[in-house]
Amino acid sequence: MPCHYGYLRPHTPPLDYEHHSVIIMGAGPTGLLLGLKFAQQRIDVLFLEAEKEIATYRRACLYMPIVLKEFEKVGLLDAVVKAGAINTEGMAFRTPLGKDNRLLGCLLQTQVPKDRDSDLNNMVVHVGQNELAKIIQGMAEKYLHFQVRLSNRFTGCQQDEPGKVRVGVSTPKGEQFMEADYVVGCDSGTSAVWRALCIPFQRFTWNDFRLIATNIRYP
């Protein structure tokens, strides 16, 4: 009976559990897109987001043709293009203008990974991660099988039998327990789900390089 707990260890769980087909931890764009696909197939999906709101920071700065193709498959493409800015040339990374405005490197559109069968290969779309999350959530909430609960923090999970996973959650009303056929950890690189399952996340932090994703409005 494998049992995995995060930094909050649940007390003795109840006999009855709120059940969902899929529980996804983390309501960022990756998890939301997955949840949208489930909801479109009439699969019951519940999001548990630890924060009080969907993240408002921009982070990601553009989406490649391969990703745009995935947006097109689920009906998101038009809304994403409308919210963002189309780039048909490529990207350039430079030092700050106040220093020497030196070109560090380029990624031309001709070098961008492409889908062989897509007509979207001639562009990328710039849009903040926060805006993308709003777009996906807005479409997904049209489906009855989709719901998001904020301020719900994962505390642990337990699998007693094949196909049944029990999840402990810290909520504004106290600790609660749920059951799902599948649990998905989409709660970032510091995932509480991954840590609880002792799954390492390989990453590297640059000590001499900073990349800021933000919007600039020219006069």
Q: Give tens-digit pLDDT for 13-25.
A: 555 678 999 999 9
Task: Give the domain-ending residue among 75, 110, 127.
Answer: 127
One domain for residues 37 and 68: no
107-133 CB burial, b ≥16 within 10 A, e <16: eebeebebbeeeebbebbbbbbbbbbb
The Cα 207–Cα 200 span in angstroms is 21
One domain for residues 81 and 176: no
One domain for residues 123 and 143: no
161 burial via Cβ count (<10 Å: 0-12, 13-18, 19+): exposed
List beta partners, residue 161: 164
One domain for residues 146 and 190: yes
As given in the structure block, the two tokens for residue 30 are 């990756």
Task: Give the domain-ending residue among 110, 127, 144.
Answer: 127
One domain for residues 79 and 176: no
DSSP structure class, residue 14: P
One domain for residues 109 and 148: no
- Any domain includes 24: yes
**pLDDT at residue 8, rounded to an integer:** 41
Ranges of residues in the chain whose predicted pLDDT is under 70: 1-16, 97-98, 114-118, 209, 211-219
- Any domain includes 3: no
**pLDDT at residue 215, rounded to an integer:** 65
Work out how many domains the chain is built from and give that number. Answer: 2
Residue 89 phi, psi (nearest 5): -105, -45
- Any domain includes 1: no
Domain that holds residue 85: 59-127
- Any domain includes 152: yes
One domain for residues 27 and 75: no
Residue type, 189: G
Instruction: Read off the CATH number of the domain in which 140 is found.
Output: 3.50.50.60
One domain for residues 134 and 191: yes
Tracing tokens 């099988």 back to the chain, one arrives at 145
pLDDT digits (tens, 9 = 90+) for 167-215: 999 999 999 999 999 999 988 877 888 888 888 777 777 787 676 666 6
